[in-house]
Amino acid sequence: MQFRQALLCLAALMCLGSYAFAQTGVQHKLKVVKTIGRHEGDARYAFASIDSTARRLYVARGFGVMAIDLDSEHVTRQWVAGDHVHAVIALPGGRALSTNGDTNTATLFNAATGEVIAQLNTGKDPDAATFDSSSGLVFVMDHQEGDITVIDPNAAKVVERLAVGGVLESAVADGHGRLFVNIRDQNKMAVVDTAARKVLRRYDLPGCDGPTALGGDLETGILVAACGNRTALGLRASDGTILARLPIDRKADAVMFDPVRRNFYIPCGRDGTLIVISETKEGALAVQSSVRTALGAHTGALDPQTGRLYLPTADFHLTFSGIAPSDGTFRVLVLGFEP
């Protein structure tokens, strides 16, 4: 009888999946609640972000910046033209900035109208971009150059190129003068002084092969880095101490933090899952659940007003150079919590 009960318990656990739940043992009822359109033509996409002031979702597309009104869900296919856009971020003062990987430029534009204010030269293949509120500067990670292009958005000019070294991925600014940048090929994280504009130190990320996405709880000073080997590391921003090593899935390009529910969300495009990592008030991290999304949904953005998640995706096919999105299949998954 005891053996049979043990088998039943094991079967139940297997049905719940390979991830451990948080201490409460209750899985969040997070699910895909709708899909925003399919759009003809070029299906390439990269990072997504939320402009909370304008109530707008930006999606970096192959042809430029796509804008979606969060309340009406009206889609403007090309809000701003671009060339293989990697990232779009909202800025104070009604401005925004996008990075163009094919032309090695950043586009500064009026967020309300899409009017271009300036085209600024960056390093090779500008990728992720982050605004630092303490310095008022934008930091653009030059993916192939190993440096950061520093931009003053008010003056609409490049003020410096900061050498870091390595293949730079996502970055987080803490608002107190520190910028944290994943270095994919070194399995490290650079810590940058945003006022002095220099690298202060580098944190080792043991057991993290190819760190890409990065997110942070700025209140508690906890960072979560997603790695290419199905691992996420939780670490303390102040000194790099590793706090947790957590299982995730493959191809994660975003880590989003929800300060209301105290969750980190990691979309994993290769497996079509969203990994939910909970944070306790004491700073402990645990994988809470794995939510089914769609293959290709590897990045996304969180609306802080509603708690909804927006994950761009598309259908994919094989080409001679690898896997590519199929034209005419781009769409955005909307995830929300059941009542």
- Alpha carbons 10 and 6: distance in angstroms, whole number: 6
Tens-digit pLDDT string for the chain (339 aa): 333 333 333 333 333 333 333 334 444 589 999 999 877 889 999 999 999 999 999 999 999 999 999 999 999 999 999 999 999 999 999 999 999 999 999 999 999 999 999 999 999 999 999 999 999 999 999 998 999 999 999 999 999 999 999 999 999 999 999 999 999 999 999 999 999 999 999 999 999 999 999 999 999 999 999 999 999 999 999 999 999 999 999 999 999 999 999 999 999 999 999 999 999 888 899 999 999 999 999 999 999 999 999 999 999 888 887 788 899 999 999 999 977
Does residue 15 sit in helix, strand or coil? helix
Q: What is the dihedral of CA 42, 329, 144, 56, to 10 degrees?
A: 90
- Alpha carbons 285 and 271: distance in angstroms, whole number: 22
| pLDDT number for residue 29 | 87
Q: Using a CB cutoff of 8 Å and minimum separation of 24, what contacts does 221-227 make?
A: 221/174, 222/279, 222/283, 222/285, 223/172, 223/180, 223/189, 224/255, 224/257, 224/264, 224/266, 224/277, 224/285, 225/182, 225/189, 225/255, 226/252, 226/253, 226/254, 226/255, 226/266
Asked whether 38 and 45 are in contact (CB, 8 A), the reply is: no
| pLDDT number for residue 324 | 86
Asked whether 297 and 312 are in contact (CB, 8 A), the reply is: yes
Asked whether 281 and 306 are in contact (CB, 8 A), the reply is: no
- Alpha carbons 53 and 186: distance in angstroms, whole number: 37
Q: How many CA atoms lie within 13 A of 49 on its CB side?
A: 24
User: Which residue in 146, 144, 145, 140 sits closest to 128, CA to CA?
Assistant: 140
| pLDDT number for residue 24 | 40
- As given in the structure block, the two tokens for residue 53 are 């002031």
Global pTM reads: 0.90
| pLDDT number for residue 10 | 33
Domains, the chain: 19-43+210-339 (2.130.10.10), 44-204 (2.130.10.10)
| pLDDT number for residue 281 | 80
Count the Cβ atoms, other than its own, within 10 Å of residue 323: 11
Does residue 325 sit in helix, strand or coil? strand
User: Which residue in 122, 113, 109, 154 sits closest to 135, CA to CA?
Assistant: 154
Burial class (CB in 10 A: 0-12, 13-18, 19+), 171: buried
β-pair partners for 110: 95
β pairing state of 316-319 and 105-110 = unpaired
Asked whether 96 and 138 are in contact (CB, 8 A), the reply is: no
Asked whether 96 and 90 are in contact (CB, 8 A), the reply is: yes
Instruction: Give the distance between the most distant pair of CA atoms in the chain.
Output: 75
Residues with Cβ < 8 Å from 161, sequence gap 6 or more?
A: 123, 142, 147, 148, 149, 150
